[in-house]
Structures are given as C-alpha cells and as structure tokens.
Amino acid sequence: MLKNAFLMLVTLALAIGGGGGSVWYALKIQDGVGAIRIGQWTAFPDIGTPAADPYSKARVAREGVLALGRAEGLSFVAERDSAGEQLKRECAYKIVGGFPTARFWTLYAADQSLGVIQTTKPRLAALQSYQVLRQPDNSVIISVSKRPSPGNWLLSDGFGRMYFVLTFYDTPIASSTGLSDVTLPLITKVGCDA
C-alpha cells in the first residue's frame, strides 16, 4: 500500500514537473510555436490577433507586453548574431542593412525580459527611424557598444545576454503576404571585452 502511494506521488511529481518544464521551455525560446524567422530576427505575426495560438497568448501574459495587431505593426527579436552566437552586452556589434517599408520603426537593446537595458544613459539604448543617419542607398549602419561611435550608435552597457528588439509600426509586412520577400539587417560581432 505504501509502495503504491509512493509510486503515485513520484508519477504525479514527474508529470507536473515535466509538463511545467515543457511549457516554460516553449515560452522561453524565441523559435516557438507560430514564429517566423528572417535571418537572425524572429517574430510572432499572429501574437496580437484573435488567431493567436495558446503559447503566444501565454507569452504575452507572462511578459506583460502590449501585443500589436496586424494593422498596427510587427516586432522582431534577435538573440544571436550572423555567426549564430548569443548576443552579449560586453561585445560590440554592427547592425547593417536596409529596413522594410514602415511609417516608423524602433530598435533597442534589451535584457532577458525584453525590456530596454538599464544603462547609465537610458536614452542612448534605443534608436528610431527619424533619428538615424542613412547611407546613399537608404541602408543604415548602427554600431552597438559600450564606447561612443561616430554615426548611429546604440549603447550596450554591462555584462550578460542581450537581445535586439526591432519594431515596425504601420507597415505592410505585418500582413501574412508581406513577409515573403522581406530582408532585415545583419548583426555582425566586431569584438568583445576580455
């Protein structure tokens, strides 16, 4: 009798722990259910719509973010550079390329909760489309580092993992047909502090 009760408790612990762990993992990874990937960037186009899957709804509830509807815009998150390595706050990066058509876009360096990295100068941890310097071909080169850099510079201060969040507002790429021929900027590591 005691043996059966013990086995039942072990079974319940494994079921609840395994189920909870699998849900945590599904919500934590960027390539979750309903995700689309363009280069290093990942987005969940259905996250703010009634057609959102249960994992997307749980992600919004857990992170407490305001999900954009299809007509409002689309957010992309990058957690790795073009070489496939995790982004680190102690490293310097170049974000180079063109941006899809949008009325307005923002780019910021984020921490694990996808909030703006807390730095000594928080206003330097984000850029937006009206303030960047553009190349003759309308592309943008953004330097991300601890040290100021000429041109477009994004501050990444501290140590640990980092993400880039690129949000397009009022853009045709938010529709499902607009994502087929979209290219997003490349993220290249320049170097790291020892």
The Cα–Cα gap between 152 and 129 comes to: 11
- Band (pLDDT 50/70/90 cuts) for residue 87 is very high
Whether residues 167 and 80 share a domain: the answer is yes
49 & 110 share domain: yes
**CA 82 from centre of chain:** 14
Same domain assignment for residues 168 and 73 = yes
Considering its fold, how many domains does the chain have in total?
2
CATH number of the domain within which 116 lies: 2.60.120.600
Are 154 and 75 part of one and the same domain?
Answer: yes
Show the beta-strand stretches assigned E in the chain.
36-38, 41-43, 73-78, 91-97, 104-110, 126-128, 140-145, 152-155, 163-169, 186-192
For residues 179 and 124, membership in a common domain is answered with yes
Residues 168 and 150 in one domain: yes
Domain hosting 22: range is: 1-30
- Higher-confidence residue of 55 and 84: namely 84
- With beta carbons less than 8 A apart as the criterion, state whether 135 and 82 touch: no
pLDDT digits (tens, 9 = 90+) for 5-44: 877 888 888 888 777 676 666 555 555 566 778 888 888 7
pLDDT tens for residues 138-154? 889 999 988 888 889 98
Q: Are residues 19 and 74 in the same domain?
A: no
Could you tell me which residue, 95 or 35, shows the higher pLDDT?
95
Residue 93 has pLDDT above 90, yes or no: yes
Same domain, 22 and 104: no
Note whether 146 and 167 are same-domain residues. Answer: yes
